[in-house]
Structure 1
Amino acid sequence: MAAPISAPETGRAQAEGRPGRFRVLLGAGIGNTLEWYDWSVYAIFAPFFAKQFFVSGNATSALLSTLAVFAVGFLMRPLGGFVFGWLADRRGRRFSLTTSMMTMAAGSLVIGLAPTHGTLGTGAALILLLARLLQGLAHGGEIAASYTYVAEIAPPSRRGLWATSMYVSVTAGIVLASLVGAAGSSLFGEQALRNWAWRLPFLLGGLLGLAGLYLRRTLRETDVYTESAGETAETEPGSRGLRHLVRELARNKVSLARILGMTAGVTVVYYVWAVGISGFAITTKGVPATAGLWATVAANLFFMVTLPLWGKLSDRFGRKPVFLVYGAAFLVLSFPLMAALNGSALRLGLLMALALFFLGAFVGIMPAYFAELFPTHVRASGVGVPYSIMVALFGGTAPYVLTWLHVHGLEWLFSCYLVVLVAVGIVTTMLTPETKGRPLT
């Protein structure tokens, strides 16, 4: 059994005027929730505002255009992982977390205030695109800094369990966005959401950024970073620092390759079954919008509750066995899950719950496993850059690819695509060493 955080340790933190680890974890998690709310609300509300920015003959074509902007936003994530990862490795985890939070909130405000096609023509779509590029930059930075922060702040014997707090907070952001959508649909009706009420969740996200700024600014820097990377943190930003970062990333190229291989499949699973499936089901399967959004809320709440189970199992049995449970499950379930989707909101919720349960075996402990593959002075960049590349290539495009294949009667091909990527992740995991209990140096 994992050892509890000792009283002397807590006492030292209090004596030094620093918040205890649990309070720090809570602050990091709430900030993460707000940032993921801003990011996810786009995908959830895309079916409602698509025709406000893209004029076309039918709702599916407009949705495809909106999802294309969703995918393009992901192209900025590798750059965000590099820039904010560099900042986190040079100026500290807290600085990077705070800056990415405010950048995300600014993008949300721009979308909430953006003119529609009827007002500005094609310029409206351009504003939408620029706002999503800004958010993509911020989101790549959030991954780099938050994964690293929670791994470094956690007790070594409970690092897997503490890592699950990241996707508990991530899912809380998605649930919050879904709740806002479900409540808006219930209060205003679908037509109002399509006409004007779609703006409200984006404006709310911008305002919540102020709360996120306060929470992130009160976080303390991690001891691992302060003790092991103090000299690097004092390096002046510039070409010398960037060259050093590139050299250090090159020295850890095997770990970079491992993250690339393990992430390709899981990011498709996540952005379909945790984020995009409700919009897909509402638009293409005829699921009632209000019921579909409530089903999404219920499934994600179930996901949040089950995540700590996987963290505890990884702390006891290791990271690799838990990752392989996810891989085996989706080799078996990818085809049945997609084939079973129909116009029933209840079935949508049950299928999401099943998919998310096994997805948790990967994403729940991912921050711990990935962070354990890198040394402190390059950890944020090492985690953020390859992960963001895979999310940009495979995750951001997943809702678009699924919808496009459905339109062309090739929905089954998407399941084939997913199985191949999951298989790549299984092979990569088997070739990756076990890191449970590895000290962060």
Structure 2
Amino acid sequence: MSETPSESGADPKGTRVLETDHRTTRKAVTAAAIGNATEWFDFGVYSYLATTIGLVFYPSQSGGVQLIATFTTFAAAFLVRPLGGMFFGPLGDRVGRKRVLAFTMLLMAVSTFAIGLIPSAETIGVAAPILLLVARMSQGFSTGGEYGGATTFIAEYSPDKRRGFLASWLEFGTISGYVAGASIVTLMTMALGDQAMLEWGWRVPFLLALPLGAIGLYLRVKLEDTPIFEGSTEGFAKDSAGGRRKGQLRETFVGQWRAMVLCMGLILVFNVNNYMVTAYLPTYLETELGYGASTGLVVTLGGMVFILATVALVGHLSDRVGRRPVLFSGSLLSIVLSLPAFWLMQQGNLWAVAFGVVVLAITLVHFSGAGPGALPAFFPTKVRYGALAVSFNVSVALFGGTTPLVSESLIQATGNLYAPAWLLMAAGVVGVLVVWRMRESAGRPLPGAPAIPVPSPRRSGESGPRVRNSNVRRLPSDS
């Protein structure tokens, strides 16, 4: 029998195709997106409460030092993420995507909940920032297995021709979680005032992460693993004796290093733009430009709502025109529009500030819409979770999570309010180079999708299982 798959996704004559139904695919997308929503709920809360967290945990420092300390704690969680990626990623390639994603969901929710329980520095002294750091590092470790696994999970459930659209809903979950967290902080700040938020109100959003995580955990536990992984388990997850497959880490790091470098470059430009908008802009507008806390929060939230409304459309566009044109456009806009965007925000007019934020959001949505569908296609199935988790988290740790810290440090060192734009422009240059070297993956099967023999169609008058198009590779039937 031939093992050549149909690259177009069309079913060759005499073949049958395995796939889950649309209802199961929707459940898979929802379960993965809920997990990302929980992760980014915390980021939205932490970013919008950066000034308050500085006062609670670093009260003896000056305002600028408080922000640096707060963002250093924020960045510390990202430094642990590669360890989480190296632990959870290869584990997901061995025991399955579903089991690992359920555990990371649980650990993330509990860690976020724990932040809301930590006493202030005035109560327990230096132990308070230490406990905050421990909780953040626990979050970082769990998140190390979250995004790479969730992206892999959706990609392996999605038909080839709709992978961009369906994978973009992962970012919809991301932004939804961020918007929910940021909205709760904004509404509570407006309703309670700064003093009440400082005394106790800041704890409430962190405590809400536990019920949100419970919902995500329930959805993930109820699902089966991806069709591609299930079809490949006997082929690569275990050896012929049923034991742990040897050489997996070597195959991931040595065999895939070129793809990992390109993947890290794409993640760099994606996440520098992402964390600039989501994690740093509220603080930039408040502390550097002098806007009220509520004003900065609402304006940035408007940019997030814009991304929420357009991200699935961009994902669909990437299925039609390709991932590379969309990602190249985003990289080019990062180079061209960053300085004008920060110039607009410095004009002292609220409408100009809002327009500048939307300009950055337009750039970001190119990556949010096309990135999740492009990243899993860098790697074959047998090492996809591990290679993507490591690539994603190393790049995010070095360039994404440090974006607020580097931006604020550059401003403190140079006194130039355009310093964050320089960072975005440099990331855009990296993005252009990566897109130039990467292969187009839209409409094509994922690399290494397993060849699975499928029974011949039944004769007239006989019933058979209902089967649809999939990214699982096909073998011609014996008939």
- On whether the aligned pair clears a TM of 0.5, the verdict is yes
**Residue 99 (1) aligns with residue 103 (2):** yes
CA distance, structure 2, for counterparts of residue 434 and residue 418 of structure 1: 24
What residue is the counterpart of 1:35 in the other structure? 39
CA distance, structure 2, for counterparts of residue 182 and residue 364 of structure 1: 26
| 1:240 positional shift | 6.1
What residue is the counterpart of 2:278 in the other structure? 274
What residue is the counterpart of 1:320 in the other structure? 324
| 8 Å Cα contact 2:182-2:297 kept in structure 1 | yes
What residue is the counterpart of 1:353 in the other structure? 358
CA distance, structure 2, for counterparts of residue 281 and residue 354 of structure 1: 15
| 8 Å Cα contact 1:264-1:422 kept in structure 2 | no
How high is the TM-score relative to the length of structure 2?
A: 0.84
Instruction: Tell me which of 371, 376, 381 is aligned to 1:366.
Output: 371
CA displacement, residues 211-265 of structure 1 (integer Å, 9 cap, x when unaligned): 22212211221101111234444569xx965742232331111110111222223
What residue is the counterpart of 1:203 in the other structure? 207
Instruction: Output the amino acid matched with 2:111.
Output: G
Structure 1 residues 221-370: aligned runs within 5 Å: 221-234=225-238, 241=245, 243-342=247-346, 346-370=351-375
Cα gap change, 1:242 to 1:112, in 2 (>3 Å): farther
| 1:39 positional shift | 3.5
CA distance, structure 2, for counterparts of residue 40 and residue 242 of structure 1: 40
CA distance, structure 1, for counterparts of residue 105 and residue 334 of structure 2: 33
**Residue 378 (1) aligns with residue 387 (2):** no
CA distance, structure 2, for counterparts of residue 147 and residue 275 of structure 1: 22
| 1:20 positional shift | 2.3
Instruction: Output the amino acid matched with 1:430.
Output: W
Instruction: Tell me which of 89, 93, 96 is aligned to 2:93.
Output: 89
Instruction: Output the amino acid matched with 2:438.
Output: T
What residue is the counterpart of 2:417 in the other structure? 411
Does the residue aligned with 1:411 lie in a helix, a strand or coil? Answer: coil
CA distance, structure 1, for counterparts of residue 103 and residue 43 of structure 2: 15
| 1:345 positional shift | 5.1
| 8 Å Cα contact 1:182-1:290 kept in structure 2 | yes
Cα gap change, 1:248 to 1:406, in 2 (>3 Å): closer
Does the residue aligned with 2:225 lie in a helix, a strand or coil? Answer: coil
Does the residue aligned with 2:90 lie in a helix, a strand or coil? Answer: helix
Instruction: Output the amino acid matched with 1:394.
Output: F
What residue is the counterpart of 2:426 in the other structure? 420
| 1:95 positional shift | 0.9
| 1:52 positional shift | 0.9
CA distance, structure 1, for counterparts of residue 198 and residue 258 of structure 2: 48
CA distance, structure 2, for counterparts of residue 397 and residue 345 of structure 1: 28
Give the aligned CA root-mean-square deviation in angstroms: 2.5
What residue is the counterpart of 1:110 in the other structure? 114
| 1:311 positional shift | 1.4
| 8 Å Cα contact 1:299-1:352 kept in structure 2 | yes
| 1:3 positional shift | 9.9
Instruction: Output the amino acid matched with 1:112.
Output: G
- Aligned-pair identity (%): 32
CA distance, structure 2, for counterparts of residue 59 and residue 212 of structure 1: 37
Does the residue aligned with 1:393 lie in a helix, a strand or coil? Answer: helix
Which sections of structure 2, spanning at least 5 residues, go unmatched? 1-7, 11-15, 450-479
Q: Which is worse superposed, 35-44 or 423-432?
A: 35-44
CA distance, structure 1, for counterparts of residue 46 and residue 57 of structure 2: 13
CA displacement, residues 172-217 of structure 1 (integer Å, 9 cap, x when unaligned): 0000011111111122112211222101111111232222221221
CA distance, structure 1, for counterparts of residue 43 and residue 245 of structure 2: 30
What residue is the counterpart of 2:156 in the other structure? 152
Higher RCO (C-alpha under 8 Å, 6+ residues apart): 2
| 1:398 positional shift | 0.8
Which sections of structure 1, spanning at least 5 residues, go unmatched? none
What residue is the counterpart of 1:71 in the other structure? 75
Does the residue aligned with 1:251 lie in a helix, a strand or coil? Answer: coil
What residue is the counterpart of 1:168 in the other structure? 172
What residue is the counterpart of 1:133 in the other structure? 137
What residue is the counterpart of 1:401 in the other structure? 406
CA distance, structure 1, for counterparts of residue 131 and residue 179 of structure 2: 27
What residue is the counterpart of 1:439 in the other structure? 445
CA distance, structure 2, for counterparts of residue 209 and residue 137 of structure 1: 16
Does the residue aligned with 1:438 lie in a helix, a strand or coil? Answer: coil
| 1:57 positional shift | 4.3
| 8 Å Cα contact 2:345-2:357 kept in structure 1 | no
Q: Which is worse superposed, 423-432 or 295-304?
A: 295-304
Does the residue aligned with 1:364 lie in a helix, a strand or coil? Answer: helix
**Residue 186 (1) aligns with residue 157 (2):** no
Cα gap change, 1:340 to 1:118, in 2 (>3 Å): same
